[in-house]
Structure 1
Amino acid sequence: MHRRTALSVSAALLVAAPLLSACSGQARPGTAAVVGGERITTAALQAQVNDVRAAQNRSGAAAAQLIQSTPGLERIKLNKMIQTEVLERAAKDAGVSVSAKEVGDFRKAQLEQAGDAGRLEQAALQQASLAPGQLDADARFKLLRDKLFDHYGSQDKAVVQLAAAAKALHIEVNPRYGVWDPQQIVLGDQDTPWIVQRTRPEQPPAGA
């Protein structure tokens, strides 16, 4: 199990935002963030949010509670999108990769542990705000993160490299979605996924 630890990154990751800002100084319409010079569009972000909301709305009696429990879903999703880019950059720098077969094997293990697809999807929706179509990407994220931890020999050493990757990407976030925190490599007050228990298949919700 990887222990929880505070991240300390002395260099600020926020820089001037020529891609985010228009001449008026306002955030450019249609841009949620810029990572490594590439835009994360509000349309791409909203598509992820809409997928989760649709899955929540299909949850019957639990729908209203699920929606009410995720008022900051846009920020949650943007945080994950940005951190995915950071992870991919750090993994590339380290020569670490995850194959489609590894993702498939992990998803198979998830399904076997949950018992059926419905239970697995509901657990992922309730516990991590993941729509069914987002499970493969989440599996890749977890596997790549754990490989990076193994590559550097410890979580703490890997986090240093993640911070370096984030700095190199010059992350800029539309203020509408919050403020990028260079100390925690996170958007706003979201929990950073680097400090977690080692990857394992999602557990079905209690009583399911």
Structure 2
Amino acid sequence: MHRRRRTALILSAAAVAAAPLLTACGSEAHPGAAAVVGGDRITVAQLEGRVNEVRDAQRAAVPDDAQYSQAIAKSGGLTRSTLHTMVLDKVLHRAATDAGVDVTRRDIQTMRTGLEQQAGGRKALERGWLQQYSVAPARLDESLRTEIEAQKLARKLGADMNSPQGQAQFWKALSGASKKLDIDLNPRYGAWDVDKNKRTDTKTPWLRQVSETGASQQEQRA
């Protein structure tokens, strides 16, 4: 599973390490939206729903209260990381579409079958994806689709993701898509770096610290 996941891990590590270059964001123009990507809204309710899916799956997988608390601690900041994933998936899809990349249902099933064999079955794969990548079982196929899309895009670009040059080439394509989509994040969740394709925290003097504290406490209780 780790070998097949290499592309996403490389991209994730590169995004986290990248220095921020923030874009402007104006949530007041989009009430109720966590982000607007290419004119499409990711609502706060949709974001919270995705987070709750993960928390519910973690609760089902770890019935012991102490172990569940540890799982929550390991996935702190889940709301922001989930929004990052939701936005980046849209950016990747736009870049792939622009490059003429397509992912079929058969592609997804082939990858899933191979990963299940490596992991030791469907449940083991779902459990591993949940623990390592905070992907709820119901979203596994969706996550695999993104994996395949990234791999196909890299091949279409001729980008070797094991080399810095290849990674730079891949990210350049995503940056182009990110700029076309004109991504606008609600300041509650930070801002979007169009050059590095990542969500970044940003200071908003008018947003009271108590709001952030309250949001954090709610996430811990979720």
Distance 1:174 1:16, change over 3 A: closer
Asked if residue 128 in structure 1 is aligned to residue 133 in structure 2, the reply is yes
Deviations 1:36-87 (Å, cap 9, x if unpaired)? 0111101111111000000111122332211121121111110011001101
Matches of 1:119 and 1:57, distance apart in 2 = 16
User: 1:117 Cα shift?
Assistant: 2.1
Q: Distance in 2 between matches of 1:123 and 1:98?
A: 23
2:28 match: 21
Please give the root-mean-square deviation of Cα atoms over the aligned residues, in Å.
2.3
> Which residue number in structure 2 is paired with residue 149 of structure 1?
154
Aligned to 1:60, the other structure's residue is in SS state coil
Which residue does the alignment assign to 2:48? Answer: 46
Residue identity matched to 1:53: R
Give the conservation status (yes or no) of the 8 Å contact 2:57–2:136: yes
Deviation at 1:183, TM superposition (A): 3.5
Aligned to 1:82: 87
- Cα distance, 1:92 vs structure 2: 0.8
Conservation of the 8 A alpha-carbon contact between 2:51 and 2:82: yes
In structure 2, what residue type is equivalent to 1:21?
E
Q: How far has the Cα of 1:116 moved from its partner? A: 1.8
Higher helix content, 1 or 2: 2
Question: Partners in 1 of 2:14 and 2:145 — Cα distance?
Answer: 24
Q: Which amino acid aligns with 2:107?
A: E
**Equivalenced residues, count:** 179
Cα-to-partner distance string for 1:9-44 (whole Å, 9 max, x where unaligned): 9xx772463xx314xxxxx44210010011110111
Give deviations 1:157-178, integer Å, cap 9, x for gaps: 2221110000010011011112
- Give 3-state SS (helix, strand or coil) of 2:42's partner: strand
Offset from partner CA, 1:124-183 (integer Å, 9 cap, x none): 111001110111111000100011111111132222111000001001101111222234
Unaligned 5+ segments in structure 1 are: 23-27, 190-208
TM-score normalised over the length of structure 1: 0.78
Could you list the runs of 4 or more consecutive aligned residues of structure 1 that deviate by over 4 angstroms after TM superposition? 1-7
TM-score where L is the length of structure 2: 0.74
- What is the letter of the counterpart of residue 77 of structure 1? T
The 5 A counterparts of 1:105-124 are 105-124=110-129
Structure 1 residues 141 and 35: CA distance shift in structure 2, 3 A? same
Which residue is equivalent to 2:163? none
More deviation, 150-159/100-109: 150-159
Contact 2:24 2:191 in 1 (8 A): no
Instruction: Indicate the SS of the match to 1:33.
Output: strand
| Residue 67 of structure 2 is aligned to residue 60 of structure 1 | no
Question: Using the alignment, how far apart are the partners of 1:123 and 1:6 within structure 2?
Answer: 22
Cα distance, 1:6 vs. partner?
5.8
Q: Note the 1:92-107 alignment, pairs <5 A.
A: 92-107=97-112
Pick one of 33, 45, 49 that aligns with 1:31: 33
Aligned to 1:185: 197
2:196 aligned counterpart, secondary structure:
coil
